[in-house]
Amino acid sequence: MIEEIGIRDLGVIDEAVLPLGPGFTAVTGETGAGKTMVVTALGLLLGARADAGAVRSGAKQAWVEGRWLVEAAPGAGRIAERVAETGGEIEAGELLLGRSVSAEGRSRAVVGGRSAPVGVLAELGDELVVVHGQADQQRLRSSAAQREALDRFAGTALQSVLDEYRAAYDAWRRDARELERLREEHDSRVREADELRQALDELEQVDPQPGEDLKLQERADRLTNLEDLRVAAAQAHELISSEALIDDAPDAVTLVESARRHVERVSPHDATLAPIVDALANAGFQLADAAAELSGYLAGLDADGARELEVVQERRALITGLIRRHGASLDDVLAFRSAGGLRLVELDGDDERIGALAESVVSLEADVDRLATAITGLRTEAAAALAVAVTAELEALAMPDAKLSVVVEPLAEASVHGRDAVSILLRPHPGAEPRSVSKGASGGELSRVMLAIEVVIAGTDPVPTFVFDEVDAGVGGAAAIEIGRRLARLAERSQVIVVTHLAQVAAFATNHLSVVKGTDGQVTASSVRQLDGADREAEMARLLSGLSDSASGLAHARELLEIAADRAA
């Protein structure tokens, strides 16, 4: 239930607070005063598309805030869970929803004190409110809306079967599409498998290893320059440590050792020479180690480098060919081998997969057929009950001779909603042919049919709040009084908010709000007043006669209020 709605800078409304609460709230006001902005504000709180044009002229942004009491709502558990997922909170059973719209068109939503995607407002709105405007009345002309109305009336018994049906239908369509695809692509997939198998066989024969191309490149470079490496290493070894130098020239090891002995001999006379002695000793050790390593390096150089170079270059050519065919690098080739193996397993399993899918499609199709038949039975049964109940409501809504029927007919093919076409037919008076409300109902008749349906459905599918915008369009007199009475009856089970221009409807409200227009010469602003007593009588007189102080209008207003009080009692 909506406890209160606050509006700022929306349309012609400067700032207003709508105290709502339980029961039947009627919202009235002069044309252009901003009554429809109340419905617009509620739409924003329920996730409707934001329109920068709705921001009041001269304002930076419009802001709407709603305070809901959700503790007793039918879907309170689901609501609390969704709010918690967004990081918001419900405090003492009270949920705050907010929405801002900037003059540039940017929109922001707040759920339980935390920013949230606008889509969350729409999800919560499905649980909290049913809105009926003139566009929704027109929507009742669509076959989809007529089917939805019947399904809502049928309640949980149908919904549980529908849920099972939709799961089976989705699985059936998915498997059928996959089966059709595999059959259509069978030849191309066989060719792909053959080509892939040939490529993987080649990869298996070469068997490249991670990083092998870089290692082969390094090896080829070494083998190509083998003689230069041998000469350089031999000369370096001779200079460091050798007895074959000409003219008995000392090698590097001998020179360093001689230098060490000269310094060591005089080091007792100067302590600062000790580290130099150690450094020269270490240099001698390092030169000796280098000489040993060069000797080992020379011994390890391949004697038959030319033959090995040929083998390395052949291997490099094989890997280069693989890279050219299967990717930009060896890593791509290895990735292709890994993915290709999995793909080949998939392709080779096509026949088995086709067989399994064919069995699945047959089985799921049988489930779809069985569940669709069950849905048709439940809808047919519910259609008869809905027709009787709505016809009774129409009699009370000043359509005593009208008869409503709900027809369930088979479709050529199953759809996600079942295998039924649902039509709501109206016979306005005896002797007339029943015609679909999509074609034969006037605006006033459609308003009453929609209201009658909602009153009936509310008994099986309770909704916390109903909002009606101009539900009384096209009606007046006794019919309007009966609409008011039926709205009051609906308000016994749910909160009802009605934007109306008829005193006959407003008379039945337990909470009457008037949107009052004022002007400062430049900007039109509106505020909302809660009416009672003489103020309410004056507003009722204005609705009846256009004058709030008309004696006859006031007398008629008091009469309507008495009629409403008597019929509500």
Cα–Cα distance measured from residue 93 to residue 120, given in angstroms and rounded to the nearest whole number: 18
So what's the pLDDT on residue 137? 58
Q: Is residue 37 part of a domain?
A: yes
Of 347, 375, 394, the residue at which a domain comes to its end is 347
So what's the pLDDT on residue 296? 85
Determine which of 53-57, 273-277, 420-424, 469-473 has the lowest per-residue pLDDT on average. Answer: 469-473
Q: Is residue 61 part of a domain?
A: yes
Our count of domains for the chain comes to 2
So what's the pLDDT on residue 133? 65
Tokens of 40: 């617009």
Confidence label for 383 from pLDDT (cuts 50, 70 and 90): very high
Q: Are residues 88 and 227 both part of a single domain?
A: no
Q: Is the pTM of this model over 0.85?
A: no
Q: Are residues 126 and 201 both part of a single domain?
A: no
Q: Is residue 119 part of a domain?
A: yes
Q: Are residues 199 and 302 both part of a single domain?
A: yes
Beta-carbon count within 10 A of 389 CB: 19
Of 286, 320, 347, the residue at which a domain comes to its end is 347
Mutual orientation of helices 274-300 and 226-240 as an angle, nearest 10°? 150
User: Among 132-146, 412-426, 513-527, which range has the highest average pLDDT?
Assistant: 412-426
Q: Are residues 200 and 335 both part of a single domain?
A: yes
So what's the pLDDT on residue 54? 85
- The answer to whether 437 and 412 are in contact (CB under 8 A) is no
Tokens of 487: 């709205």
Q: Are residues 36 and 123 both part of a single domain?
A: yes
So what's the pLDDT on residue 220? 84
So what's the pLDDT on residue 522? 45
Q: Are residues 226 and 293 both part of a single domain?
A: yes
The pLDDT tens digits for 402-456 are: 899 999 999 989 999 999 999 999 898 888 888 888 776 677 777 788 888 888 8
211-227 burial: b if 16+ Cβ within 10 Å, else e: ebbeebeebbebbeebe
So what's the pLDDT on residue 375? 96
Q: Are residues 64 and 129 both part of a single domain?
A: yes
Query: What mean pLDDT value characterizes the chain?
Result: 85
Residue 283: which of 258, 265, 248 has the closest Cα?
Answer: 258
Q: Are residues 201 and 95 both part of a single domain?
A: no
Question: In degrees rounded to 5, what are phi and psi of residue 146?
Answer: -65, -40
Confidence label for 370 from pLDDT (cuts 50, 70 and 90): very high
* Domain region containing 217: 191-347
Confidence label for 282 from pLDDT (cuts 50, 70 and 90): very high
Domain CATH number, residue 47: 3.40.50.300
Parallel, antiparallel, or unpaired for β 129-132 and 465-469? parallel
Cα–Cα distance measured from residue 239 to residue 245, given in angstroms and rounded to the nearest whole number: 8
So what's the pLDDT on residue 449? 84
Average pLDDT over residues 211-217: 87
Residue 12: which of 39, 41, 32 has the closest Cα?
Answer: 32
- The answer to whether 428 and 399 are in contact (CB under 8 A) is yes
Of 347, 379, 409, the residue at which a domain comes to its end is 347
The residues, ordered by sequence, that sit 6+ positions from 37 with a Cβ below 8 Å of its Cβ are 7, 10, 11, 12, 13, 54, 515, 526
Parallel, antiparallel, or unpaired for β 61-69 and 465-469? unpaired
Instruction: Locate all alpha helices (DSSP H) within 246-349, ordered by sequence.
Output: 252-266, 274-300, 305-326, 330-348
Q: Is residue 52 part of a domain?
A: yes
Q: Are residues 133 and 196 both part of a single domain?
A: no
| Residues forming beta bridges with residue 107, ordered by sequence position | 101
Q: Is residue 295 part of a domain?
A: yes
Q: Is residue 47 part of a domain?
A: yes
Residue 390: which of 569, 129, 134, 149 has the closest Cα?
Answer: 149
Handedness of CA 305, 307, 308, 310 (dihedral sign): positive
Q: Are residues 206 and 277 both part of a single domain?
A: yes
Q: What angle do CA 323, 328, 333 make, to 5 degrees?
A: 50
DSSP for 328-381, written as a single string? SSHHHHHHHHHHHHHHHHHHHTHHHHHHHHHHHHHHHHHHHHHHHHHHHHHHHH
Q: Is residue 92 part of a domain?
A: yes
Average pLDDT over residues 339-365: 84
Q: Are residues 3 and 122 both part of a single domain?
A: yes
Average pLDDT over residues 234-254: 76
Q: Is residue 168 part of a domain?
A: no
